Structure 1
């Protein structure tokens, strides 16, 4: 800390220097002035925390110095040392905020006590000032965030909208009198990594920069306001008051600035001007719909109006349902040429129609994943989850292009769909190969265990394959059901055993897995047209 000694007698200044224990009081720098005028001249640059001054001096008295300190250097503490035991001087010192009024000759203990008191007071006030300063900084930092939350509530919280408007007006965020407003949504592409990297990979900083550009272009709170919408951290909302500015012109100007700075142009969704604030929620939904249904093929348009995009939506009749069966045939075939054809041709219909939107692409992607899930369920319910987990790992490397990109890149979409279908086809092929091997194992298992109790469910559980698949496969390969195949195999074994005259019927029935001899005879007759005994007799006849 710093001190300034003011006295027109050099010996007094020297005595004060010697009497005060400066280091103890935390004072590291001391300067002198021979009068009040010189002291005032030094104060602006030197900025001492403590002034020790005389009252009566030829070159500017102490009264004038105290008055100056009280007016221009209020944090500075001062002590008066005077040879005049004058009540008026003492009262003026107290009224001006002086710490003490000491009489010459000065006692060492008295002046050190006065300096200690002055420094404690200065440090206490400095601490208070620092706390207030930090609080002020915090409030200044939080105010924009608080304002953005309030502005976002105009859209999200209709029940308290009037209260929110009053608070915004009280905080001077919006003008007092607003009749109508036009809402515009600016959509940030959060997948534009090169742009985000320019801001240290900080999306918030990018949004802050774009928000400032918007507000500067709008031209002041009287025309409108732009803010980061808390309902979606990738959107900036512009509210334009009472037709004072033209949305088309403003968004054009904003894009011109953004293009000069970042070589980008952003898309805006809007709707017609309407009553403020009651229509804001509806306006927001319409503006978002306008962005979602904008024509990605129309790369020259950046402001999308809700009424215009509604006219475009009649082109959106083409959907995944139109190609679902074609894709299923191609994927089940495993033919790479067919897979490439269906993966490449789906976009051509959109190109032919001249219209494709982010909303349409989003629905298409969702339908593709749903199709994949149901196809795996149909082919192999037991292996579905395992294969889905494998395909989801591949998805991490094969992500669909961002639907909020500035324009559509047909090549990227074709390549993503081709890779998606190729991965799915490989999964289906692996299922079919596993099933083919499993079915051969099933037949071998039946032939080895025909004498045990065999049910379709037991086989399905043993081989982790659906009952439906096993049943369907027996009909495809043998033109009979699973049960008929097992029965036929048992009866053929029984016919071989009947050649042995020493084996009784109940023994043979037990050996082929039909322990009830009566039921065995009944089944045998149904299939062979004669009983087991009659069949045995035919074997004995010449």
Structure 2
């Protein structure tokens, strides 16, 4: 068994280590974290049975950590050790399932009693979980799949919907007298690794188990049916035809069953009631939209109604949570200039400030939905494309391809994932801007080196018949690139730059009375002395002969 001590003061962590009799409680490994953010990472990786945490920390508070543990690591028990005798803190600890709230300075007897209670509770629940999981897996092996493809056809196959309905009624899967129904979707997060690991990585077995658990609450009283929907991405759907019972009450019981078996609660998108089976396609769209519009900051809301639901009694999230006058949702346009300047700056301070401001504003405004995050991510990608194309022109495609490869190696958090964390999105936005800044900076330095090498080559070969095509080929860049860079650096085109170099070399040779004009013309790359004289006078205001006379 493992335990995790979370406190931003090392001396407090040391005191807890010394005061708790770990051997008596059969805890073999003690981990430490200096912040709530660090603790989340350790809990995901190490899965401790017990967390002893401080309430007030600089990076990731105890309240945030408690909420996160309750939501995503519900089988972990925690004890709060705090220097604040605050009733609200105690209330929050109880609300999130904390075992005890201990005030500093810590007394050995008190903390050992709390650890003992936490360990006993964890062991009792672990035995119950193992028992239920064994029962569930046995059920999964023997319980038949209920006409999933026939049920899916009612939603997405208009041609065969009527035939599918007759077959479903004949087989007794659904009653004959259904007139109205709701369609409900369970959010199944493909990136939910902790849940998937419980099934050995077998997603099909995971879906099958969830369907059967839901059907235990539906089929016994013929309220509806849960099934794997085959018409698109992996989804679990419920057709609910008993419309008299509270849908939130039913889902609450389902979620409790899911939690007892899988230690996980699901989010449900709920459509309005409509004609059966004609309104099922529209119902699925409504339920999917409800999941996309759920407020990710409200971790304890699992029922998400269609915006068109007239009887849901819904009010804006901010008002429902006691926050009247919640600010308007943040748009990417509100921070786009901050991101652009941070990328151009490239300093860790500017990048961190831009990333922090974004997530701070999202939290302050009180509403974050998967739909918003998808739009934000798309807008961020568009900004990146624009910055790269503006800076690199024809070289942009290769740079964007490299950045997309980095995206695959370090993907963003799932916009609708169960493990939503503003900290994770803040870290992603920082990395996103940092990679872009580093890529642009590296390419700029490379471009500067290329231009320097081209200038050096011209200085050494100015007397030759240099062409734009030759230079581009030698340095493996496009003609347009060379032309654009010379225009940017010197304000003139490539051929004018070479002419200016030749004239400057001619100025050095003209004071030598032993060299004829024709010789100097040839030596600097002009094969026609009259043309040389014309160009020389145009650039200097003097003919070569007059320039030589002045030099003497």
| Fold conserved between structures, TM > 0.5 | yes
Q: Quick one: distance in 2 between partners of 1:443 and 1:172? A: 83
Is this contact kept in 2: 1:398–1:420, CA < 8 A? Answer: no
- Which of residues 448, 456, 462 is equivalent to 1:450? 462
Q: C-alpha deviations, 1:159-215, integer Å up to 9, x for none?
A: 332222222222322211211111111111222222212122211111111111211
- Which of residues 394, 407, 417 is equivalent to 1:395? 407
Offset of 1:152 from its aligned partner? 0.7
2:159 partner SS: helix
Is this contact kept in 2: 1:382–1:465, CA < 8 A? Answer: no
Is this contact kept in 1: 2:268–2:304, CA < 8 A? Answer: yes
Which moves more between the two structures, 303-312 or 405-414?
A: 303-312
Match of 1:415 in 2: 427
- Which of residues 365, 368, 389 is equivalent to 2:377? 365
Q: Quick one: distance in 2 between partners of 1:450 and 1:258? A: 79
Match of 1:113 in 2: none
Match of 2:355 in 1: 343
Matching of residue 297 in structure 1 with residue 297 in structure 2: yes
Q: Quick one: distance in 2 between partners of 1:384 and 1:475? A: 19
Match of 1:160 in 2: 160
Instruction: Give the aligned length.
Output: 400
Q: Quick one: distance in 2 between partners of 1:238 and 1:304? A: 14
Match of 1:241 in 2: 241
Q: C-alpha deviations, 1:340-361, integer Å up to 9, x for none?
A: 1112211122122211111111
Q: Quick one: distance in 2 between partners of 1:316 and 1:467? A: 49
Q: Any residues of structure 2 matched to 1:9-158 within 5 Å, and which?
A: 144=145, 147-158=147-158
Q: Quick one: distance in 2 between partners of 1:157 and 1:420? A: 41
1:184 partner SS: strand
Which moves more between the two structures, 513-522 or 175-184?
A: 513-522
Q: Quick one: distance in 1 between partners of 2:390 and 2:278? A: 50
Q: Quick one: distance in 2 between partners of 1:405 and 1:375? A: 29
Match of 2:60 in 1: none
Per the alignment, do residues 191 and 315 of structure 1 end up closer, same or farther by CA in structure 2, a change over 3 Å counting? farther
Matching of residue 535 in structure 1 with residue 550 in structure 2: no
Is this contact kept in 2: 1:316–1:356, CA < 8 A? Answer: no
Rg larger in 1 or in 2?
1
Is this contact kept in 2: 1:180–1:274, CA < 8 A? Answer: yes
Offset of 1:433 from its aligned partner? 1.9
Q: C-alpha deviations, 1:319-348, integer Å up to 9, x for none?
A: 333323322222222212111111221112
Is this contact kept in 2: 1:312–1:355, CA < 8 A? Answer: no
Offset of 1:499 from its aligned partner? 3.6
Per the alignment, do residues 513 and 266 of structure 1 end up closer, same or farther by CA in structure 2, a change over 3 Å counting? same
Offset of 1:240 from its aligned partner? 1.1
Per the alignment, do residues 215 and 315 of structure 1 end up closer, same or farther by CA in structure 2, a change over 3 Å counting? farther
Per the alignment, do residues 254 and 380 of structure 1 end up closer, same or farther by CA in structure 2, a change over 3 Å counting? same
Q: Quick one: distance in 2 between partners of 1:163 and 1:297? A: 44
Offset of 1:371 from its aligned partner? 3.1
Match of 2:78 in 1: none
2:227 partner SS: strand
Q: Quick one: distance in 1 between partners of 2:263 and 2:288? A: 24
Is this contact kept in 1: 2:330–2:365, CA < 8 A? Answer: no
Is this contact kept in 2: 1:380–1:466, CA < 8 A? Answer: no
Per the alignment, do residues 242 and 217 of structure 1 end up closer, same or farther by CA in structure 2, a change over 3 Å counting? closer
Is this contact kept in 2: 1:158–1:278, CA < 8 A? Answer: no
Matching of residue 353 in structure 1 with residue 354 in structure 2: no
Match of 1:257 in 2: 257
Q: Quick one: distance in 2 between partners of 1:304 and 1:195? A: 22
Which moves more between the two structures, 311-320 or 501-510?
A: 311-320
Q: C-alpha deviations, 1:69-93, integer Å up to 9, x for none?
A: xxxxxxxxxxxxxxxxxxxxxxxxx
Is this contact kept in 1: 2:227–2:237, CA < 8 A? Answer: yes
Any stretches of 5+ residues in structure 1 without a counterpart?
1-139
Match of 1:212 in 2: 212
Offset of 1:279 from its aligned partner? 1.0
1:269 partner SS: strand
TM-score with structure 2 setting the length = 0.65
